[in-house]
Structures are given as C-alpha cells and as structure tokens.
Amino acid sequence: MWQPETVLFYSMNNRLSVLFIIAFNLAPLAGAIFFNWQPFEALWFFWMETLIMAVFNCIKIVFSQHRDLAVTQTDAAMVYHIGKAFRYLLVRIGIFLFYSIFIITFIGYVANNNTDKSGVLTTLLFQNRFFNLSLLISIFAQGYYLLFYFFRNRTFITAVPEQYASWFDSKLIIIHLVVVLGSFGSTFLIRQTSLGAYSGIVIIGIFCLFKCAVDLFNYEKVPEINVE
C-alpha cells in the first residue's frame, strides 16, 4: 500500500518530469546556439538516446513478470526473460550500427556546412563536453524512470516483456523520419535559402520541437500509480 507522502512525491514529480522532458529535448538547440552544433550533433545525440533506451528496455524485459492483478500479492517466484532481452538488444544494436553509417557519412560530412568537420570526429570519440553531459543526463533520466515508474510503482509485476521488446517503437520510427528528412532538409536550407549559417539552428529547432511533442505524448501513457 502506498503511503500519502509517496503519492504526493509522485504527483509533484509529474510536473517536474514534464519540465525535464522539455529541457532535455531543448539541449541540442542550446548546443546549436552556444556551442556551434550542426545537425549531425543533434541527430547523433537523438540516435545515441535510442541505444541508451534499448539498454534500459532490456532491463525491463528481463524483470517484466506479466502477472494478473489478482495475484500480484502472491509470493510466486520471479521469472527472468534474459534470452528475450539479449535477442532484442542484438537487433537494436544492429539497427543502430546500420543507420549510424548513414548519419555519420551523409549528415556528418556530406550535408555538413561547417568548413571544419573535425567536430564530427570529436563528437564520435566523446570529446565534446556538452554532448557528453547531455548523454549523461539522458542516462540519468532513463534510470530515474526505471526506478520510480517501473520498479517502485510495481509496474514490473504486471508488465508484459513484449511491450518493451518492439524493434521499431514509436520513438525509433520518429527518429528515423527525423534523420531522413533532416538530412535532405539541412541540404535544402543551406543551398536553396538565404539562411546560411542559421540553417543548422533552424533544422535542429524543428527536430527538438517535434521530438519533444512525441516524448510528451508518450509520457502521458506512463502507467498510473496504484495507491490502494
């Protein structure tokens, strides 16, 4: 049974979570404005986020118990879906590596309007401090949701492993669209408009707003906390 102070804790953190999602998705825009990020850095950041999410989804797959609500209070033995999680991770890593070639080659170099493209290698080798900080925040956020919205609110007891084992979830599909449209969009803005140096900021701003809307939509589907 949840104590009143626990329920209050989650209610207060719902608003904080929304603010965190907004701030997190605006990080690439801040990188474009203050740290000269190009569309590559923003797209690579979002793409790295999918790999981080895949790792945390593996943990959810392993511990999802798929029990009926009527038997959640029993002392039934835990079932660990390690094989399913391992297969899921292998597929997601394969998808990550396949699209990484396109992102690095085309967006990082071909469609990059920065004359000095050494920043691409700097980012790939984790020598971009703001990029690294943003990734650490992403890991912290995923850990937070895993702890409080999967384990602590006992979602793992009724969760179905398959709901986390999708190879192409909504966020991955959205980022696929962003990668493809972003590559052609950035090229068009650079060559066909007068935006020039500001084209990267425009493209990244559109990415951030679009992805933020998707994340907020998905956040609304987080399971309700059982307070009984």
Mean pLDDT, rounded, for 15-43? 85
Going from the C-alpha of 35 to that of each of 42, 129, 196, 208, the distances in angstroms are 12, 10, 17, 16
Non-local (6+) Cβ contacts of 208 within 8 A are 25, 26, 28, 29, 42
Mean pLDDT, rounded, for 148-164? 89
The reported pLDDT for the residue numbered 17 is 77
pLDDT at 227 over 50: no
pTM of the model: 0.82
pLDDT at 151 over 70: yes
Q: Using one digit for the tens of pLDDT, what is the confidence trace for 127-149?
A: 999 999 999 988 998 898 899 88
Mean pLDDT, rounded, for 108-120? 78
Mean pLDDT, rounded, for 174-190? 66
For residue 84 the two structure tokens come to 């399913």
Mean pLDDT, rounded, for 38-66? 91
- pLDDT classification of 5: cutoffs 50, 70, 90: very low
Going from the C-alpha of 156 to that of each of 51, 65, 67, the distances in angstroms are 21, 6, 9
The reported pLDDT for the residue numbered 218 is 74
pLDDT at 69 over 70: no
pLDDT at 189 over 90: no
The reported pLDDT for the residue numbered 9 is 42
